[in-house]
A and B are shown apart, each in its own frame.
Chain A
């Protein structure tokens, strides 16, 4: 149990376009989902925390108008990178936490974004 999927697993887009990444909890209800970004040879950096039905909380330095997060249901959160630029190229990873399991985060397989 506790499987988290992401779609797509990789995406290549042109500069200026928008890209949507989906994060789904397949066998549990995720009350909280987290979005991370990882650049090559660097660690995971938390971008934002989203709770089902409420606005996401963004970390300092993350542009909320550029990285739109929607957590509309207990099994789905989406991250939309708007007007993507080459510097947004990165590995985006989501994780999900279920109600009552505060210490456990289940990670998705990640989405590799390349902006040309």
Chain B
């Protein structure tokens, strides 16, 4: 089992819809989680970080964390074609010098 798992997709949604991206993790010791967006040929850029159970909203993005279920999600409301990218979920390994462990990424395609 991979430490951080995501569906590779591709996930296709129409413009204006809600895109839902999911991630599970295996290390219960992880306390901090991150969502990155990566366009083709570019470096990842941080979209959201979440450390506590519940929801965290930032503009059109909402991150959700459920530590009991070891589950992290990212919702993108009013999806735009410019949101088309690969979304990477990452967990921070606090007990190993703060290494980030990435999932394999979910490719999102928003159709006009």
Contacts and interface: CB of A to CB of B under 8 A. Distances in A.
Interface of A: 32, 34, 42-46, 49, 57, 91, 93, 95, 97, 102-103, 105, 107-110, 112
Interface string B7-50: 00000000000000000000000001000000001111110010
Interface stretch (B53-61, B62-70, B76-84, B98-106): B98-106
B100 A105 contact: yes
20 contacts: A32-B97, A34-B100, A43-B102, A44-B100, A45-B102, A49-B99, A57-B97, A93-B44, A95-B100, A97-B98, A103-B98, A105-B100, A107-B43, A107-B44, A108-B43, A109-B42, A109-B43, A110-B42, A110-B43, A112-B41
Interface residues of B, number: 21
A34 B99 contact: yes
B92 interface: yes
A112 to B, nearest CB: 8
Contacts of A57: 97
Contacts of A107: 43-46
Nearest to B92: A103
A8 to B, nearest CB: 14
A17 B45 CA distance: 32
